[in-house]
Amino acid sequence: MKKTLLSILKYLLPLGIGIAMFFYATKDISFASVMQQFGEAKYGYLLLGILFFTISNMARAYRWLLLVEPMGYKPSFKRSFLSVMVGYFINLVFPRAGEISRAATIQRLEGIPLTTVLGTIILERVIDVFFLFSLIIALLLVESGKVNELLSSFLGNSFQKITFDLYTILLLGFVGLFVVVIIYFLYQKWKNNRIVQNIRTFIVNLLQGLTSIRKVKNQTAFWFHSLLIWVMYFWMSYILFFCFEHTENLGLRVGFVMLVLGGIGMAAPVQGGIGTYHLLVGKAFTFYGLTAVEGQIMATFMHTTQILIILLVGGISTIISMSLLPTIPKNSQENISTDQKQ
């Protein structure tokens, strides 16, 4: 009962925080004004948005294949893409559950071990964070003044910094070393225990996926598609500027700013980036000539359309994936047999 309650709270808490931030961000705009603006939008550009979104995830699916192949598995591109989209679809409801559902989908469809493929997905997330961090650095270089204004508007002009002296660092290092030593001695004592062996197998498979990037044969294709994902994210976001007259002339620079801030907002641990996206993007628009109301309406429009695109493409992909029969390729069967013998 207690475990169930904690699971419910784990789901409802981020949702509640996101909804609270959404209402705070949109407190000054009326539903009627939002619907009026939505009604005046040029929806033909949404078709391009759907195209860019689909291309970005086709690139993600292909990049994923490049990570999985060195481990002896060759899932089809179609099923890889469907699994990616299932992950996006589930993430809208359960934050961070998309990675698990994506791994579970490809396991069911292609027979790839869950822990192995989960390692590649975690690696993908690390690479995505690297790209987002690089974009944040670029944003600070290109628009440092606007970023300072944005931070000041949320946090005020004074920032409290947390510093660690030498003794604190040494203490933390000693505690970390002590924990490692304890874990080592416990492992040596219980290494023949079945539960410990299962944990060890899980960690080994996970590390195999995490280190698969070193074995990717076509590194050029891997990094090209990693870059293509973010290029398509940019165009998916920027194309929506042309839906309204007051944003169609903002330019590529503003599009880049909204890409980065929108990426930070969507990365927040709330369902679909609700609230965090509206706060960051809506406020940022006011630094480029839009009123507070126009900025929040535009942020709401961009977020809503992106969510609808995910629901559309992700929902269709989920239905298709559920209708497919599981198949285990020959090379995967050989891999599994080898693992069992070992």
Number of Cβ within a 10 Å radius of residue 157: 7
How high is the pLDDT of residue 338? Answer: 44
Q: CA 191, CA 168: separation in Å to the nearest integer?
A: 34
- The first and second tokens of residue 237, run together, are 């976001």
C-beta of residue 229 within 8 angstroms of C-beta of residue 63: yes
- Cα–Cα distance, 173 to 251 (Å, whole number): 48
Comparing CA positions, the residue from 302, 274, 339, 288 lying closest to residue 22 is 274
Band (326; pLDDT cuts 50, 70, 90): confident
Query: Beta strands of 45-200 (E only): which ranges?
Result: none
**Residue 8 has what pLDDT?**
63
- What's the token pair of residue 89? 């679809």
Q: How many residues does the chain have?
A: 342
Grouping H, G, I as helix, E, B as strand and the rest as coil, residue 296 is helix
Determine phi and psi for 326, rounding to 5 degrees. -65, 140
Tell me how far apart the alpha carbons of residues 119 and 49 are, in angstroms, rounded to a whole number.
30
- Count of C-beta atoms within a 10 Å radius of residue 210: 18
Segment 107-116, tens digit of pLDDT: 888 888 887 7
Question: Tokens standing for 333?
Answer: 């069967």
> What does the domain layout of the chain look like in residue ranges?
29-114+125-158+218-341
Q: 99-158: per-residue pLDDT in tens?
A: 888 888 888 888 888 877 887 888 888 888 889 888 888 888 888 777 777 766 665 554
Quote the CA–CA distance of 83 and 61 in Å, as a whole number: 8
